[in-house]
Amino acid sequence: MSTRKRLMIPGPIECEANVLAAMGEPVPGHTAPGFIASFGQCLKMMKQVWQCPSGQPFIIAGSGTLALEMAAANLTEEGDHALVLSTGYFGERYARILERHGAKVTLLEAKTGHAITARQVEEALSTKKYKLMSFTHVDTSTAVKMDAQSIGELGNKHGVMTILDGVCSVAGENIRQEEWGIDVVLTASQKAIGVPPGLALMVVSDKAIQAWKERKTLVRSYYADWTNWLPIMEAYETGKPAYFGTPATNLVKALEKGLENIINEGLEARFDRHNRLGKAFRTAMSLLGLDMIPASEEVSANTLSAPILPETISLPDFMQAMGSAKVAIAGGLLPEIKTRYFRVGHMGSADKEDLRLCVEGIAFALNECGMNANGEKAWRTAIAE
Ligand code: PMP
């Protein structure tokens, strides 16, 4: 009997069979005609999934942190003012990355479990002139979701470029990049895109490309410099190979399948599925007697959840009891509260059956720790609502 657990941490996630099959193909050369076609298709499909038909997509070997650093490196120069809206660990971290590239950062931090409101953003943008503003759409340390549309619109109103960290949201939460006027939307392959880790992905608006072209100083990272990568992306999109750094060829083949899966499901259907499963999971947790880190439904992400353990249960005991469950979940991440909660990813191809197993596993572990929880009933009730 297989002892493999379903991977329900908030990334990397389980991948569909066709994605894994593409990973396992004989390694394609980066100038092979089939590979060039796949790379071009990926770039075109990204514009569809990002809902940004006139944006410039980039596919680079690296993790989500590279995508964040690439946006920072190309869009900031020494002394530029940046506003970072932080709802957890990843917002705080982005402030450090922007500073490394010369930005003077103002960090606007939300109380744990809360989002930063449009009114707070408006106030911050009215009191100081910023070149750019970043926010984490879904912070994976808190499961708090920000209102991407209002922030994009406020950025436009105040003439500030916006960077959306969508590592835990792209392809799981709705983002209309072009309509909402967001300049950079970035992610990594291993989350709701449904591909193994290893690709940094982003789509950049024409406005941001123009701002980068008008830089007075060199980009401070050689690998991240769009000067090196833009011609490569343009070449592959028009069916020609080009070289700057060797692309992760098997991962690009896998990305082609991942993006096809998303487009075949349909964006609206996919967001709706995430919405329904996210809601049902939160309801099930509440029926088991657990509160959540996000303070309200309105700010709760649909790609992952962060339930709080009762004070009587320690995280190590709970995680040990989860060892016999059929799913793998993650502990807390936000340093000040990391031993008080756990995290469950329900993005990409996660389905009702995965969530049922997960809820039952959590109930089992809670019971091992002295609670009296009925997982089967909680899930049945939650999914029927
Ligand atoms: N931002 C967010 C919201 C994330 O969840 C993560 C990864 N968990 C990152 C950035 C960093 O991505 P990576 O681990 O792929 O470098």
In angstroms, what is the span from residue 180 Cα to ligand 1's centroid? 23
Q: Which residue has the tokens 């799913």?
A: 327
Region 159-177 average pLDDT: 98
Q: What pLDDT band is residue 97 in, cutting at 50, 70 and 90?
A: very high
Report the chain's mean pLDDT, rounded to a whole number: 97
Mean pLDDT of 59-72: 98
Q: Is omega for the bond preceding 196 within 30 degrees of 0, making it cis?
A: no
> 34 alpha carbon to ligand 1 midpoint, in Å?
31
Task: Give the model confidence (pLDDT) of 204-247 as tens digits.
Answer: 999 999 999 999 999 999 999 999 999 999 999 999 999 999 99
The CA radius of gyration of the chain, in Å to the nearest whole number, is 21
State the alpha helices, DSSP H only, in 24-63: 33-49
Phi-psi region of 27 (alpha: psi -120 to 50; beta: other; left: phi over 0): beta
Output the pTM of the full model: 0.98
| Torsion sign across C-alpha atoms 168, 130, 76, 209 | positive
Q: Which residues contact 251 (CB under 8 A, 6 or more apart)?
A: 23, 61, 189, 195, 196, 198, 199
Mean pLDDT confidence for 147-153:
98
Residue with CA at minimum distance from ligand 1 atom 15: 64
Q: How many CB atoms lie within 10 A of CB 380?
A: 14
Q: Is 342 helix (H, G, I), strand (E, B) or coil?
A: strand
378 Cα to the center of ligand 1, angstroms = 31
Distance CA 191, CA 111 (A): 25
Q: Distance, CA 125 to ligand 1 centroid (Å)? A: 26
Q: Is the CB of 142 under 6 A from ligand 1?
A: no
Q: Quick one: pLDDT band at residue 3, thresholds 50, 70, 90?
A: confident
Q: What's the pLDDT tens digit per position in 288-327?
A: 999 999 999 999 999 999 999 999 999 999 999 999 899 9
Q: How far is CA 268 from CA 51, 100, 146, 252, 287, in A?
A: 11, 38, 19, 25, 28
pLDDT at residue 4 tops 90: no
Ligand 1 center–CA 36 separation, angstroms: 28
Q: What distance in angstroms lies between residue 375's CA and the mean position of ligand 1's atoms?
A: 30
pLDDT in tens, 264-297: 999 999 999 999 999 999 999 999 999 999 999 9
Ligand 1 pocket residue status of 88, Cβ below 6 Å: no
**pLDDT higher than threshold 60 for residue 1:** no
* Other residues' Cβ atoms within 10 Å of the Cβ of residue 317: 15
**How far are the Cα atoms of 37, 109, 181, 274 from residue 304, in angstroms, in the given order?**
34, 21, 25, 9
| Residue 136 CB–ligand 1 contact under 6 Å | yes
* Residues in a beta bridge with 343: 330
Q: Is the pLDDT of residue 58 over 70?
A: yes
Distance between CA atoms of 112 and 129, rounded to whole angstroms?
27
Q: Say if residue 2's pLDDT is above 70.
A: no
Mutate to test the pocket of ligand 1, among 140, 303, 343 (most ligand atoms within 8 A of CB): 140
Which of 65, 184, 191 is the pocket-test mutation for ligand 1 (most atoms within 8 Å of CB)? 65
Whose CA is closest to 168, among 190, 184, 150, 183? 190
What was the pLDDT predicted at 385? Answer: 84
Summarize the confidence of residues 80-93 as an average pLDDT. Answer: 97
373, pLDDT greater than 80: yes
Angle at 159 between CA 156 and CA 162, to 5 degrees: 60
**Nearest-atom index, ligand 1, CA of 138:** 3
Closest by Cα among 356, 305, 45 to 194: 45
For the cut 80, the answer to whether the pLDDT of residue 68 exceeds it is yes
